Amino acid sequence: MKAFTWFIFRRILLFFLIFFIMKNALAEDTSDTLRVYHLGEVVVTAERSPTSLTSSLKEVNYQTIHQRQIQTIAEAVQITPGGYISIGSRNEMMVQLRGIEQRQIAVLLDGVPIYVPFDGLVDLGQMPVDAVKKITVTQGNASVLYGPNSLGGSINIVTRLPSQR
């Protein structure tokens, strides 16, 4: 019995020894068949296409606001083509551009987005126009220019400097 276990032990040892020796023979050759090309300095230039934006841009300036005696920013947006005001359940003025609700319209104050984090709306009826220099209304897809939540367009409120009042 002792001779039989010694025989099996030698066979197993021989098997593992051959396996570990052959493992190195099966390893991949380290020579690389890919050619490496060294390029000099690469300069990539592009030109801006001369096409205009696909969205329409309307501007309500300080003179128009005071000539029409506009009291709020919502009323100023309403005089632009496609601008519409509806009254919400909390008696807030909700602006629509081309039928798209205010949640898909970016409202910016001097280029900085403003909204209520709870529902993403801004009551433009509460914002007076006394300090406004101009209001730029972009209708259509403005998400490239003004970030997310501007599928319907954007309303950019530009304020006057204190010396301009």
3-state secondary structure of 96: strand
Q: Identify the band that residue 68 occupies on the pLDDT scale cut at 50, 70 and 90.
A: very high
Residue ranges and CATH numbers for the domains of the chain are 56-164 (2.170.130.10)
Per residue in 13-64, pLDDT tens? 888 888 777 766 665 666 667 788 888 898 888 777 665 556 678 899 989 9
**pLDDT of 8 above 80:** yes
State how far the alpha carbon of 96 is from the alpha carbons of 99, 115, 125, 137, in Å. 5, 15, 13, 11
Tens digit of each residue's pLDDT (9 = 90 or more) over 69-128: 998 888 898 999 888 888 888 888 888 888 888 888 888 898 888 877 777 778 888 888
Provide the whole-model pTM: 0.63
The CB density around residue 122, as the number of other CB atoms within 10 Å, is 24
pLDDT of residue 120: 72
Which pairing describes strands 132-139 and 153-159: parallel, antiparallel, or unpaired? antiparallel
Token digits of residue 14: 């021989």
pLDDT of residue 33: 72
CA distances from 97 to 17, 83, 100 (A): 80, 5, 5
Q: How many CB atoms lie within 10 A of CB 121?
A: 18
Average pLDDT (5-19) is 83
